[in-house]
Amino acid sequence: MARIRAIDAVWLIFLAALASLGMTREEHSLYEWFVLLALGGVQIAEARLDVPSDRINAVLAIGVKLVLCYWLVAETGAIESSYYLIFLLPIVSGASLFELGGALLTTLVASLLYLSFLLHVDFETNLLLPEGERELTVRVLFFFLSVILVNRLATENRRKTERLAQANRDLIEAQAEVRRSERLAALGQLSAGLAHEIRNPLGVISASAEVLGQHVSKENEVAREVAGFIRSEVERSNTLVSDFLDFARPLHLQREVNDLNAVIDQSVTQLLEGAAAKNNGFRLEKKLGAIPRFAFDSRLIESAVSNLLLNGYEAMPSGGTLRIHSSREGSTARVEVCDSGVGIAREQLENIFNPFFTTKPRGVGLGLAMVSKFIDSHGGKITVTSEPGQGATFRFSLPLDMKS
């Protein structure tokens, strides 16, 4: 059962007191109680239903308030009702929930509803004196003055809230980047140490297998085949060790002014050449925007783009669409690679750029870690968004003002 909040109790007490005060008049209506408490109920429900985030519910809530306010004023003296200020309730709500245009529209509707009681006045027996005209004009102008003031405060509050939310998102991303950098540094040092320790025994094993293959008689096919297996596995292990060392080794960028779209084209051509042989229904969409030439290490960026394209392609074993877009946004060049594959589980997204993390059966987990390292070394940023079964989208940006 939902708890009654303090503000809800205050609303009900205030409106009940207002209704009780109205009942002390000689001429009063029982509808006052009903309408005032109904307004309180709408106000409480508005907060509990999260109306501010739902435009349709906001419009409905303000519409109900306008109807209730009109009813209350109609039952308590119409144009002469002391309750005319109750129209401030939907007016202030509109100022808080909508931009200035919507707030002014709400105020206009409330003003027209209030002034519509003049249609029921018999001006033959009831003259509207100049003082009365000025009074009505002042009331309506105060409606608009109130909405402008409240809307200004609400707009400033929304902007502050948006800035705070953005700052919070940036802080979370920065914390994730720091954690990832710390893990990369530690794993890089570990990889370098292990790689050096493993490479020497691998050299001995490879040389021993070579000697074994040379001295085994031709009739002993099994031994010769085993020696071949040993050599091939040593070569594969040696390649992994080289990858570990490449990951751990500090990068020395060779920046040259180049065309990023041309580098993307090279990566796309390589992927299409490899995919053509499989003919699995794969389709690639390329949209390259206008990006000025700038300084970057074309070898590293081509490797990063090729890796992202290959990952997207491998995520669609039954075929699908792979999209790559490039564009300029202010002082950065942006590249987006999007696939329609199996997607990435939400709990794996934070670890996707960590070394040795992989979802592939025979993967090592260095591909995306190297991509992240290449982009970071250029002062860029890489992100990923994904939902399981809906593909993944990798985006990276590079600053255009890097010096060659």
CATH number, domain containing residue 294: 3.30.565.10
Give yes or no: residues 223 and 124 share one domain.
no
Say which residue, 363 or 330, is predicted with more confidence.
330
Closest CA to 380 of 388, 369, 371: 371
**Same domain assignment for residues 328 and 354:** yes
Whether residues 317 and 382 fall in one domain: yes
Task: Check residues 101 and 358 and name the one with the higher pLDDT.
Answer: 101
- Residue 377 pLDDT more than 60? yes
Please tell me which residue, 252 or 95, carries the higher pLDDT value.
95
Report the pLDDT averaged over residues 254-272: 91
More confident residue, 89 or 13: 89
What is the per-residue pLDDT for 369?
Answer: 83
248, 277, 304 — which closes off a domain?
248
Which one has a higher pLDDT value, 58 or 394? Answer: 394
Whether residues 222 and 262 share a domain: the answer is no
What distance in Å separates the CA atoms of residue 336 and residue 245, rounded to the nearest whole number? 29
pLDDT value at residue 112: 93
Whether residues 119 and 204 share a domain: the answer is no
**Tens-place pLDDT, residues 119-167:** 877 666 655 556 778 888 888 999 999 999 998 998 898 889 889 988 8
The residue out of 183, 213, 248 marking a domain boundary is 248
* Mean pLDDT, range 369-386, rounded to an integer: 88
Write out the two tokens for 86.
């109750």
Does the pLDDT value for residue 373 go beyond 60?
A: yes
Give me the CATH number covering residue 220: 1.10.287.130
d(CA 234, CA 205): 7
Domain identity same for 37 and 69 = yes
Top pLDDT among 364 and 127 is at: 364
User: Alpha-carbon distance 308 to 181, whole Å?
Assistant: 20
Is 318 contained in some domain?
yes
Residue 328 lies in a domain: yes
pLDDT for the residue 363: 63
Range of the domain at 40: 6-128
Looking at the structure, tell me whether residues 40 and 101 fall in a common domain: yes
Is 103 domain-assigned? yes
Q: Which of 376, 358, 349 is nearest to 185 (CA)?
A: 376
Specify if 237 maps to a domain. yes
The predicted structure's pLDDT at residue 257: 92
Of 35 and 293, more confident: 293
In this structure, the answer to whether residues 362 and 305 fall within a common structural domain is: yes
Average pLDDT over residues 292-315: 91
Of 197, 217, 248, the position where a domain reaches its end is 248
Mean pLDDT, the chain, as a whole number?
81
Residue 105 confidence class, pLDDT cut points 50, 70, 90: very high
Any domain includes 225? yes
* 157 belongs to a structural domain: no
Question: pLDDT exceeding 90 applies to what percent of the chain?
Answer: 23
Are residues 281 and 339 part of one domain? yes
For 375-401, what is the mean pLDDT? 89
pLDDT top residue among 100 and 363: 100
- The reply to whether 367 and 271 lie within a common domain is yes
Lowest mean pLDDT of 69-73, 223-227, 258-262, 298-302, name the range. Answer: 223-227
Query: Same domain for 71 and 92?
Result: yes
CB 102 within 8 A of CB 147: no
pLDDT of residue 247: 66
Q: If you search the block for the tokens 């009109």, which residue do you land on? A: 70
Residue 238 has pLDDT above 70, yes or no: yes
- Say whether both 237 and 284 belong to one domain: no
pLDDT of residue 290: 93
- What pLDDT does 404 receive? 45
Average pLDDT over residues 176-201: 69
Cβ-Cβ contacts under 8 Å for 221 (sequence gap 6 or more):
none
Q: Which residue type, as a one-letter code, is found at position 215? A: H
Structural domain count of the chain: 3
Of 101-105, 273-277, 359-363, which range is least confident?
Answer: 359-363
pLDDT at residue 200 greater than cutoff 90 = no
Both tokens assigned to 335: 């590249």
Q: Evaluate whether residue 152 is within a structural domain.
A: no
Once rounded to an integer, what is the mean pLDDT over residues 175-196? 69
Length of the chain, please? 404
Asked if residue 156 belongs to a domain, the reply is no
Residue 1 in this model has a pLDDT that exceeds 50 = no
Helix, coil or strand: residue 290: coil
| Cβ atoms within 10 Å of 140's Cβ, excluding its own | 19
